[in-house]
Structure 1
Amino acid sequence: MGALAAGTLTVGALVLSGAPGLGVGHAQAQQTAVANADPEFNQLFHQSMRRPADVELAFRLARRAIEVGDYEAAIGVYERILFYNPNLVRVKLELGRLYYRLGAYESARSYFEPIAEAPALTTAERDNIAAYMVEISRRLDPNQITVYAQVGVRYQSNANYGPSSRLVLGQDLTALLPPGSTAQADGNAFALATVRHVYDFGNQRGDVWESNANLYYSQQFQLQNLNLGYAEFNTGPRFALLPDQMPGSSIRAYVLGGGIALGGDAYVGTYGAGLSLYAPFSMYFAVEPFAEVRQREYQNSRDYPTASLQSGDMWTLGANLSGRLTDASGWRARVAYNNASGDLPWYSYDNVSIDVAVPIEFQGLWGIRRWVAIPSAGYSRYSYDEPNPFINSWITQEDNQYRVGLALDVPIHEQWGLLTQVQYSWSQSTLPNYGFDNFSVSVGPNVRF
């Protein structure tokens, strides 16, 4: 199952945070970063500083700030407009929307509530405010639920991760595989979902109870023995660590459980526990080291009659890292070391892996929400404890797996879009049985709320 599980790095959208009370001084701070990338904003900004009472010019500046994705600069401009004319209802509407996008829900509500029934707004705009107010109430509730889901289709040039060569080893001899046992192309339909629930204890420290569920299922078009189902759940408290010295830092303990079905039959069940520590040192660097132990119980089936020999425990040490590179790009990485034991020594191995992704936001072909391109790369090394005598008595299996990919997340609506992913992976092994390469492409709509 190493090859089936390897090579996936999920990169979520970069989340911006805002604070109330942003004014001209904040806009000036933001202007420097935006002006370097957008001369039109720079020109409008300097004109607006010379003519601060020019409302039309300020509107143009704010609209340009939104177009280049700098919502905080737009907030600063709109609040300056209100300083000169505090009765502009549509400016308050735009401020509510912008604060909502930044996740500052209380600030958004403070602008929406006074204008909810304003006669100057259209019926559609008042309905829009009502929808925002419902969603803000939901998000400020102690029980927070967020969902990411996708459905789609995928093509793989080597769906079964078959060896690149028909010449393999068996019982210390070279054998020639029949054509049907080598790499086989296939497609599948898949669905996945990530559900996160957070209960806020409301103690003003940021202590919460956090639960996560990850679900996946794929149905092959031809190779039915590779139909894959996956479910895993973890839950546990997350306590603020240094709320004053390092806001956002936390420590979390959790228990986990889950399982995998393969070919329509139960393949492996797992349970365990873990501990993680989150430390956001700056907007450019945050790290979350973790340690985890789990027990894996494999089940024999018609298609996998010796699977139970892989049963045993697995220890994992690793870290998730993230940060920003520029206003429009960030980075995410995961490094991990696994030690897995099996009933037989040739099913026991050490694994080292690293995955890196760089989400890059840019203005797409339509809409004001920016598209995200996500190039990624990864490497894994599997080193087994002893040679498998049923393959070769002298050569111990060691696999070096590589992967490169590119994803494009295209927002179509506030909550849903279209995600396309392309990936090429390959493996170099000390045993020809496990050397492979695979090209995959997937596409499908996604939704987040």
Structure 2
Amino acid sequence: MSVRGIVLAVALGAMAGPALAAQPTVLADADPEFNALFDQSLKRPADVELAFRLARRAVEVGDYEAAIGVYERILFYNPKLVRVRLELARLYYRLGSYESARSYFEPIAQSPELSGQERDNIAAYLVEIDRRLSTNQWSVYGQVGVRYQSNANYGPSSRLVIGQDVGALLPPSAAAQADGNAFALASIRHVYDFGNQRGDVWETNLNLYYSQQFQLQQLNLGFAEFNTGPRFALAPDALPGSSIRAYVLAGGVALGGSGYLGTYGAGVSLYLPFSAWFGLEPFAEIRQRDYQSSQDYPTASFQSGEMWTVGGNAFGRITDDWRWRARLSYNDASGDLPWYSYNTFAVDLALPFEFQGLWGVKRWIVIPSVGYTRYNYDAPNPFITKFITEQDNQYRVGLALDVPVHEQWGLLTQVQYSWSTSTLPNYAFDNFSVSIGPNVRF
């Protein structure tokens, strides 16, 4: 048990005496309801129902260590309470104390007091704990599916565009076109645990994607990117879970059946979980981008150059069921020609919400999201206009629903609407997309 949990357990003990000086823990002490329950528990330490209410409130405000202290004290009075052991196991798992979690899960794994769904859930927890405690830890996420887009080629909203400083009418083949595709993606992660007390590891990630268009074959897309590097604990005592990671990366993109982009580079990131409510992951990255021209994309090679990226991911909890994550980034990309050089500013926000669905041993997740990206190019493209530099504002709103069908299998549906305004009508567009397909994680 943590030091804070021990302090709270002692404070609730019948043998603590009248001169108690214990205080609520750091995460919970700003919550009036927790404080009121805490004070009542000091006066009535043998009131089990009150202790349950205090523990549940500690979980609601994100103070798992305080909740553990309360549940441990309940077990001291009645060690046969299976559901208290189940709650303790889940809390230790959330804190990353996997051996402690297993010690509570295993004795109740076949308990008749639990439902079949709960016993299946415990079995899944035990499998995941074994994986996480292994020196070599693997995790895989994959999905296959189909997608429809109202503007698959991101054609301009109007066929009236600018070409060499005069108005031009695009042929229908170059205007916005609807299409669908079949796609597959996979994300594979490997962690080698060095086995030291600090928790240092070597982390490797591989991301793969391929989509096959039904009609617009020039938009067939293949993507692969690999990164690997050490992750060192940053402040294991002052800020548990914090780390710094340096990595190298390499990747490539194929477009329309031909090589389109090769890239390599390096980066560094920090992981700073300040509390259950807020964490931060700033990062910086540099990569070289080498584009290749093809029959469908004859000028692609002029985009080659370096790209710097700085930014950060932020994440946290709003309630026990409702989380948030955000990403903020700035890119500076150079090209062989000045009108292919640009910088971007992007921000995205997602609010995953878990709830008990109609079936399944795991809860469903609905994820609303919004995003914005601004593109600023360095110079006008003289083949379009000598006087107007392209500036684009792209917006997106989306909604995803992840429905678990089995412990490892689910069905993911995503809907997104995106649109762009631009200083040039050539690059103003809108696009509605919907995708659906089974996913797997293990």
* TM-score after normalising by structure 1: 0.79
**In structure 2, which of residues 276, 290, 293 is the aligned counterpart of residue 297 of structure 1?**
290
Deviation at 1:111, TM superposition (A): 3.3
Match of 1:201 in 2: 194
Deviation at 1:406, TM superposition (A): 1.1
Query: Structure 1 residue 424 and structure 2 residue 417: aligned?
Result: yes
1:384–1:118: structure 2 CA closer, same or farther, 3 Å change rule?
Answer: closer
Query: Structure 1 residue 285 and structure 2 residue 275: aligned?
Result: no
Does the 8 Å CA contact 2:376/2:390 hold for their aligned counterparts? Answer: yes
Does the 8 Å CA contact 2:156/2:175 hold for their aligned counterparts? Answer: yes
Query: Structure 1 residue 353 and structure 2 residue 346: aligned?
Result: yes
**In structure 2, which of residues 206, 222, 225 is the aligned counterpart of residue 213 of structure 1?**
206
1:99–1:445: structure 2 CA closer, same or farther, 3 Å change rule?
Answer: farther
1:281–1:112: structure 2 CA closer, same or farther, 3 Å change rule?
Answer: closer
Does the 8 Å CA contact 2:160/2:168 hold for their aligned counterparts? Answer: yes
Gaps of 5+ in 2: 13-23
1:417–1:119: structure 2 CA closer, same or farther, 3 Å change rule?
Answer: closer
Gaps of 5+ in 1: 1-16, 37-41
Match of 2:16 in 1: none
Match of 1:363 in 2: 356
Q: 2:130 is paired with a residue of what secondary structure? A: helix
- State the AA in 2 paired with 1:394: F
Q: Deviations over 1:182-215 (max 9, x none)?
A: 0000111111111221222222112211111111
Q: Deviations over 1:285-338 (max 9, x none)?
A: 211111111000001112111111111111111111111122221211111111
Deviation at 1:273, TM superposition (A): 0.6
Residues in 1 aligned to 2:307 and 2:272: alpha-carbon distance in whole angstroms: 26
1:113–1:343: structure 2 CA closer, same or farther, 3 Å change rule?
Answer: same
- State the AA in 2 paired with 1:271: Y
1:446–1:80: structure 2 CA closer, same or farther, 3 Å change rule?
Answer: farther
Residues in 2 aligned to 1:399 and 1:155: alpha-carbon distance in whole angstroms: 24
Q: 1:318 is paired with a residue of what secondary structure? A: strand
Does the 8 Å CA contact 1:235/1:256 hold for their aligned counterparts? Answer: yes
Q: Deviations over 1:43-89 (max 9, x none)?
A: xxx9xx999689xx999x9xx99xx9x99799889767754554577
Match of 1:174 in 2: 167
Where do residues 245-264 of structure 1 align in structure 2 (5 Å cutoff)? 245-264=238-257
Residues in 2 aligned to 1:97 and 1:53: alpha-carbon distance in whole angstroms: 20
Q: 1:364 is paired with a residue of what secondary structure? A: coil
Does the 8 Å CA contact 2:361/2:407 hold for their aligned counterparts? Answer: no
Deviation at 1:367, TM superposition (A): 4.3
Q: Deviations over 1:359-392 (max 9, x none)?
A: 1222323346332221111111111111111111
**In structure 2, which of residues 248, 266, 270 is the aligned counterpart of residue 273 of structure 1?**
266
Matched length: 419
Segment of structure 1 superposing worse, 154-163 or 438-447:
438-447
Query: Structure 1 residue 312 and structure 2 residue 305: aligned?
Result: yes
1:432–1:121: structure 2 CA closer, same or farther, 3 Å change rule?
Answer: closer
Match of 1:148 in 2: 141
Among all aligned residue pairs of Structure 1 and Structure 2, give the percentage whose two residues are the same amino acid: 73
Q: 2:272 is paired with a residue of what secondary structure? A: strand
Q: 1:139 is paired with a residue of what secondary structure? A: helix
Q: 1:281 is paired with a residue of what secondary structure? A: coil
**In structure 2, which of residues 56, 81, 98 is the aligned counterpart of residue 105 of structure 1?**
98
Match of 1:340 in 2: 333
Where do residues 5-84 of structure 1 align in structure 2 (5 Å cutoff)? 82-83=75-76
Does the 8 Å CA contact 1:20/1:107 hold for their aligned counterparts? Answer: no
Where do residues 325-404 of structure 1 align in structure 2 (5 Å cutoff)? 325-367=318-360, 369-404=362-397
Match of 1:444 in 2: 437
Deviation at 1:442, TM superposition (A): 1.0
Q: Deviations over 1:145-167 (max 9, x none)?
A: 12222111111000000011111
Deviation at 1:138, TM superposition (A): 2.5
Residues in 1 aligned to 2:108 and 2:390: alpha-carbon distance in whole angstroms: 68
Does the 8 Å CA contact 1:24/1:77 hold for their aligned counterparts? Answer: no
Does the 8 Å CA contact 1:33/1:327 hold for their aligned counterparts? Answer: no
Q: Superposition RMSD on alpha carbons, in Å?
A: 4.0
Q: 1:137 is paired with a residue of what secondary structure? A: helix
Match of 1:187 in 2: 180
Residues in 2 aligned to 1:214 and 1:198: alpha-carbon distance in whole angstroms: 15
Q: 2:99 is paired with a residue of what secondary structure? A: helix
1:292–1:91: structure 2 CA closer, same or farther, 3 Å change rule?
Answer: closer
Does the 8 Å CA contact 1:71/1:102 hold for their aligned counterparts? Answer: no
Q: Deviations over 1:377-422 (max 9, x none)?
A: 1111111111111111111111111111111122222222221111
Q: 1:390 is paired with a residue of what secondary structure? A: coil
* TM-score after normalising by structure 2: 0.81
Does the 8 Å CA contact 1:159/1:184 hold for their aligned counterparts? Answer: yes
Does the 8 Å CA contact 2:264/2:289 hold for their aligned counterparts? Answer: yes
Q: 1:282 is paired with a residue of what secondary structure? A: coil
Match of 2:228 in 1: 235
- State the AA in 1 paired with 2:186: A
- State the AA in 2 paired with 1:346: W
Match of 1:137 in 2: 130
Does the 8 Å CA contact 2:118/2:361 hold for their aligned counterparts? Answer: no
